[in-house]
Amino acid sequence: MAPINEYDYDLIVIGGGSGGLACAKEAVANGAKVACLDFVKPTPLGTKWGIGGTCVNVGCIPKKLMHQASLLGESVHEAAAYGWEIPNKEAIKPDWEKLVQSVQNHIKSVNWVTRVDLRDKKVEYINGLGFFKDPHTVVAKLKNNTERTITASKIVIAVGGRPRYPDIPGALEYGITSDDLFSLDRAPGKTLVVGAGYIGLECAGFLKGLGYESTVMVRSIVLRGFDQQMANIVADSMVERGIPFLHKTIPKSVEKTEDGRLLVKYVNTETQEEGSDVYDTVLWAIGRKGLVDDLNLDAAGIQVKADKIAVNEAEQTNVPHIYAIGDIIHGRPELTPVAIHAGRLLARRLFGGSKQIMDYTDVATTVFSPLEYACVGMAEEDAIKKYGEDNIEVFHGFYKPTEFFIPQKSVRYCYVKAVAERSGDQKVLGLHYVGPVAGEVIQGFAAAVKSGLTMKILLNTVGIHPTTAEEFTRLSITKRSGMDPTPASCCS
């Protein structure tokens, strides 16, 4: 379609993360003239990064790479049990600086490829902090403190979020967040991770796997929003690996000691008992805040809900030509693939004549804890709340991964669960898995659940043996039966 002459662009996308980039590129592919704005404000520590958003720079990608580094450290010791001759394996330890350099080299290569891709696809990239002047006008504040004003027929907000800091003495001065960890210029040493969401557990997990003491401080519950039985299994498996949890505890202050370490004072919210300990690093993982403050949304008349933007089922704000996608929108899964898919579908609706809207149900996800957890669909407690306990059947079982036998790794927390309707063919409402390569296992099952998987079909599916994924096809024991869900052997 031809540009709308009264505006500079058909579409302005504010935010150069996964969702914004996907939307911008898809809009161009459907004939639109598009500008994409992206700017990264440095963290209190001074960390900043290139185009690509949280996932590429300080999220999924570096997290998975460091998780893999941690798993490889375990594998070295397991290899000895399998007969590999590893001289002085106790001396094997990671080089933090080299690991960070390797991770950052990869990220910078992705930044470069992203820039080239935008140029090739004819998306105009503007490295500036965008904010509204009026409903159709966006101002980009550029690096040299100059401003550029541009207009568009339609605008998509895709600015995402950044980690929160607690309002306590020393938090900003001495603490870091996941925005800093993956480029930290020193080994983290003994680390306190404050927060027990998936980011906190993942960071504590790979730090411990890399040989650094880590402790998790939990204000209320572990993995809020996830199935709580599975969440507690994940936490228990981490404790078994030597990661202590401070439950019902909040930090009061962080102070620098004479030897340059960090004294953290904290209190148990139930007993009011106070305590303290000294750490080398304090990592805040207490949630994320939508980046609405810099957008000057009042100038466009856009409604905000908490620190997010309220949208309808088509990602449309209360201002009809302004849309929002990704982590900045209220009440939707904060996941990179969700933002990408929503961004592409939105661009096709705006410029390609499509009518398809984003389906936010049954989105699979994985927590890359040391023993990984993946799920798709409903948590057990949510299914019971919606359908009633008498109408839900929960199939479950512990299992023993074959690869754990020879190195004698703990199988105590390897567990699968299917939450299903009790009647008829028993439609599957949710699948939950704790064990090796959880994301790889659950991805295929996610398509099945999306397609209306039933327990009848699942239990008529022949498993691939010996795999851990096949455990879903062997789920014969229900919680209601009270039978022992521990297997007798691997092949029966």
CATH of the domain at 242: 3.50.50.60
CA distance linking residue 472 with residue 466, whole number of Å: 13
Domain extent, residue 211, equals: 164-287
Is 77 among the domain residues?
no
- Domain end, chosen from 287, 313, 337, is at 287
Is 3 among the domain residues?
no
pLDDT in tens, 69-100: 999 999 998 999 999 999 887 788 999 999 99
In the annotated binding site, the residues are: 64, 130, 195-202, 287, 327
In the annotated binding site for FAD, the residues are: 64, 130, 327
Residues 150 and 30 both lie in one domain: yes
Is 46 among the domain residues?
yes
pLDDT at 1: 45
Residues 311 and 177 both lie in one domain: no
Residues 411 and 457 both lie in one domain: yes
Q: Identify the residue whose tokens are 């798709």.
A: 376
Count of structural domains, the chain: 3
Residues 297 and 267 both lie in one domain: no
Residues 342 and 382 both lie in one domain: no
Amino acid at position 433, single letter = Y
Report the catalytic residues: 465
Residues 377 and 450 both lie in one domain: yes
What CATH number should be reported for the domain holding residue 414? Answer: 3.30.390.30
Residues 15 and 154 both lie in one domain: yes
Residues 142 and 196 both lie in one domain: no
Is 315 among the domain residues?
yes
Residues 257 and 307 both lie in one domain: no
Residues 279 and 300 both lie in one domain: no
Residues 127 and 204 both lie in one domain: no
pLDDT at 336: 97
- Domain end, chosen from 304, 321, 352, is at 352
Residues 204 and 112 both lie in one domain: no
Structure tokens belonging to residue 406: 């020879």
In the annotated binding site for NAD(+), the residues are: 195-202, 287
Is 174 among the domain residues?
yes
Q: Which residues of 62-72 are buried (b: 16+ CB within 10 A; e: fewer)?
A: bbbbbbebbbe
Low-confidence residues of the chain: pLDDT under 70: 1-4, 488, 490-492
CA distance linking residue 196 with residue 217, whole number of Å: 7
pLDDT at 39: 97
Is 80 among the domain residues?
no
pLDDT at 491: 64
pLDDT in tens, 248-283: 999 999 999 999 999 999 999 999 999 999 999 999
Residue 370: left if φ>0, alpha if ψ -120 to 50, beta else—which one?
alpha
